[in-house]
Amino acid sequence: MRSARWILALSLLSALGLASAQISLSIASGGTGGVYYPVGGGYAQIIDQFVDGYTASVEATNASVDNVAFISRGDADLALALADTVLAAYAGTGRFGPEGNLPQLANLRALTVAYTNAVHIITIDGSGIESLQDLVGKRVSVGAPGSGTELSAQAILNAVGITYDDFQVERLSANETADALRDGSIDAGFWSGGVPTGAVLSLAETRQIKLVPVSDEEFAAINAASPTLIRYVYPEGAYRGIAETASVGTPNLLIVAAEMDEELAYQFTKNLFEHVRVVQAIHPSANETVPESALASPIPLHLGAIRALEELGLTVPDRLKVD
């Protein structure tokens, strides 16, 4: 990924007439089997087609935890990340707090809320896993290292009284989780992603999958402990053979650094909402990308995004504005 310093240098060279190339932006996404990667590709298309002077490339990453760090230190320009991860990084809590191993990232800003991630707690029919408590003693993937999936999995499990000591922990990506479930090397796996997620679709074509439900009592405990984890209900047929299933979801934020040029943030946000059909054509999760969703961000919005939203007639609350 190219750093913000590289982009600034190229911009200065262009202004001096010493470089003719457009400024290249990096979009941090997730694994290629998830939803972040194709959605990030849609954002790159919007930049290439509608934001003058810029081009963009999408980068595969380990997703949320890595992505917030990439944005904060200038190794990526835009990124998708789970709201609970972004809020913890911005506020300096949890793994990003005094007792964690990661630094606070107070320069994070949101452009909008992109869509809601559904927490997939996946098993194979016949595994005997019917509830969260049935994960005890099993082989369970909690998501890739450095991913928001693992943070969500930890929050969910801790809220219902399950710790990593209670089962055999694996840390796998979406594609790896699907492969491991397919060959029987794990009993269940967590994945936080848009619906449908490609890796899960593929698995459902070769195995009869089940999504482990989250009861109302469990959800109340989870939401009380982590308010950015909200109720999500899978519709019947979300994947082959799946009945309506109550689970948990968390919003995905499209984030940048506070240091991003205000005009660039404005132009991208404006064009995203004007041309969101480009992203919708790639993945249906973008149907949720509407201007009003930005007001649900748990962290402040970038000044450029605020300008775009106010031009659309929205009133941005003071809690989303910072000096």
Name the H helices within 165-197. 174-183
The burial of 20, by beta-carbon neighbours within 10 Å (0-12 exposed, 13-18 middle, 19 or more buried), is given as exposed
Percent of all residues in the chain with a pLDDT value above 70, rounded to a whole number: 93
Residues 161 and 43 in one domain: no
Q: Is the pLDDT of residue 10 over 60?
A: no
Residue-level pLDDT at 8: 57
Counting the structural domains of the chain, the total is 2
Last residue of a domain, one of 204, 227, 250: 250
Residues 241 and 266 in one domain: no
Residue-level pLDDT at 33: 86
- Provide the token pair at 138: 């099993």
Residue-level pLDDT at 117: 87
Q: How far separated are the first and last CA of the chain, in Å rounded?
A: 29
| pLDDT tens digits, 125-150 | 999 999 999 999 999 999 988 788 99
Residue-level pLDDT at 135: 98
Residues 174 and 68 in one domain: no
Q: Is the pLDDT of residue 19 over 50?
A: no
State mean pLDDT over 45-71. Answer: 96
Q: 114 with 253: CB under 8 angstroms?
A: yes
State mean pLDDT over 89-114. Answer: 94
The whole-chain average pLDDT of the chain stands at 92
Q: Is the pLDDT of residue 157 over 70?
A: yes
Q: 34 with 117: CB under 8 angstroms?
A: no
| pLDDT tens digits, 198-256 | 999 999 999 999 999 999 999 999 999 988 899 999 999 999 999 999 999 999 999 99
State mean pLDDT over 273-287. Answer: 96
- Where residue 126 falls (left for φ over 0; alpha for ψ -120 to 50; beta otherwise) is left
Last residue of a domain, one of 215, 250, 285: 250
The pTM of this model reads 0.79
Place of tokens 């930049």: 47
Q: Is the pLDDT of residue 176 over 90?
A: yes
Instruction: List the CATH number of the domain containing 315.
Output: 3.40.190.10
- Provide the token pair at 266: 């404005």
Q: Is the pLDDT of residue 107 over 70?
A: yes
Residue 14 pLDDT grade (very low, low, confident, very high; cuts 50, 70, 90): low
Residue-level pLDDT at 69: 96
Last residue of a domain, one of 189, 223, 250: 250
Residue-level pLDDT at 285: 92
Residues 134 and 42 in one domain: no
Range of the domain at 183: 118-250
> At 139, is the secondary structure helix, strand, or coil?
strand
| pLDDT tens digits, 260-272 | 999 999 999 999 9
